[in-house]
Amino acid sequence: IMDSSQSSSDENDALINDLPSAMFWDVMQIKKWQGFWFEPGLIKCAMKFNSSFDAKHDDVLLASSPKTGTTWLKALCLCILHQNHNIPENEDLLTKDNPQYHVQTIESSIYSTKPTPDLYGTSSPKLFHTHLPFSFLPDSIKNTSCKIVCVARNPKDTLVSLWHFFNSIFRANQEPYPLEKAVEEFCRGVHQYGPYFENVLSYWLESRKRPEKILFLKYEEMIKDPKGEVKKLALFLGKPIENEEDLEKVVWRCSLDRLRNLEVNKNGSVIYGVPNGSYFRKGMVGDWKNYLNSEMEDRINQTTLIKFQGSGLEF
């Protein structure tokens, strides 16, 4: 006799099995579910999240398409929500572990290589993250006053960052994956959590309808005016930072240079099967210019124009 969760899990396996398939970078099978591409294990977790996550009004969800500034946003929200700004420099949470560990990506928790708190069981307020598009969120998140902070980034820089990241994971001692192919797959949306365009747009449109619920940040604006954006973020989260010195502290603590050089991010520790250090690269706006030729640039620009047309979203 099977219990009902077992039979629904078997039904989900059968459903996932029948979904359209593609190979990502010749190494990872991905499947298309409700308009987006994922590896099958993630779909199961996304289903569980959607059907059984019970958000409380004081929970905070961070949302982002991969490689758009997730790690940075996780670090910042951690400092704003869970830390006294006067904590000594070498004792803050970021020195203990990678932001990816402190703020879990809910649908990836099964891949975590370390024991992590159960987001379905722990008490509120919870700070957690998802790469899933808005439409995938459980009703308890959509319909309570639980806040959402989204970060998004220029598609060309996102693609270049994605390309480096997957090269480091899938092709460590090989030639990089052909960039033209990566661009094409990105534009067609056939990649983990893709299409990027619809994923980002889902939060953008919702943030325009409900600005009190969803704060939409842009990576480029955070780079340009980190203190201003952190101030805005802290205010939105209900933990305003008035003091200039505290603002500077948060910005510095979460800066790429500091995080990259912390022992915990250098010594080979791993989360989600990925070395902690691989979340930190250049953090530059416009790095795409060093990689994309004019055909690739046009291909992404054209796609962006079509997808974001009329939405008011620009990078």
Minimum distance from residue 66 beta carbon to ligand A3P (Å): 6
Whether residue 153 contacts residue 222, with contact meaning beta carbons closer than 8 Å, is answered with no
Whether residue 103 contacts residue 62, with contact meaning beta carbons closer than 8 Å, is answered with yes
Structure tokens at 231: 């101030």
Minimum distance from residue 53 beta carbon to ligand A3P (Å): 22
- Residue type at position 178: P
Q: Name 31's bridge partners.
A: 21, 38
For ligand A3P, the binding residue among 24, 31, 61, 71 (CB under 6 A) is 71
Footprint (CB under 6 A) of ligand A3P, residues 237-276: 254-256, 259
Backbone dihedral angles phi then psi of residue 65, each to the nearest 5 degrees:
-75, 150
Q: Is 179 in the site for ligand A3P (CB under 6 A)?
A: no
Handedness of CA 4, 5, 11, 15 (dihedral sign): positive
Tell me the C-alpha distance between 296 and 270, whole Å. Answer: 33
Catalytic pick among 102, 129, 131, 191: 131
Does 131 qualify as catalytic in the annotation?
yes
Number of residues binding to ligand A3P, judged by CB under 6 A: 22
Which CB, 146 or 254, lies closer to ligand A3P? 254
The 101-140 contact track toward ligand A3P, x by CB under 6 A, reads ----------------------------------------
Taking phi first (over 0 means left), then psi (-120 to 50 degrees means alpha), and beta for anything else, what does residue 238 get? Answer: left
Minimum distance from residue 107 beta carbon to ligand A3P (Å): 15
Which CB, 56 or 164, lies closer to ligand A3P? 164
Footprint (CB under 6 A) of ligand A3P, residues 151-170: 157, 161, 164
Which CB, 96 or 282, lies closer to ligand A3P? 282
- Which is nearest to 278 in space by CA: 180, 165, 201? 165
- The one segment of 35-43, 182-190, 280-288, 296-304 that binds ligand A3P by CB under 6 A: 280-288
Q: Is 233 in the site for ligand A3P (CB under 6 A)?
A: no
Tell me the C-alpha distance between 242 and 234, whole Å. Answer: 10
Which CB, 166 or 279, lies closer to ligand A3P? 279
For ligand A3P, the binding residue among 24, 36, 72, 236 (CB under 6 A) is 72
Q: Is 69 in the site for ligand A3P (CB under 6 A)?
A: yes
Backbone dihedral angles phi then psi of residue 257, each to the nearest 5 degrees:
-65, -40
Tell me the C-alpha distance between 228 and 128, whole Å. Answer: 23
Which CB, 47 or 186, lies closer to ligand A3P? 186
Structure tokens at 260: 């990259």
- The one segment of 47-55, 173-181, 262-270, 279-287 that binds ligand A3P by CB under 6 A: 279-287
Structure tokens at 309: 């047309």
Residue environment code for 111-132, b if the CB has 16+ CB neighbours within 10 A, otherwise e: ebeeeeeebeeeeeebbbbbbb
Q: Which residues bind ligand A3P (CB under 6 A)?
A: 64, 66-72, 75, 157, 161, 164, 254-256, 259, 279-283, 287
Which residues are annotated as catalytic? 131
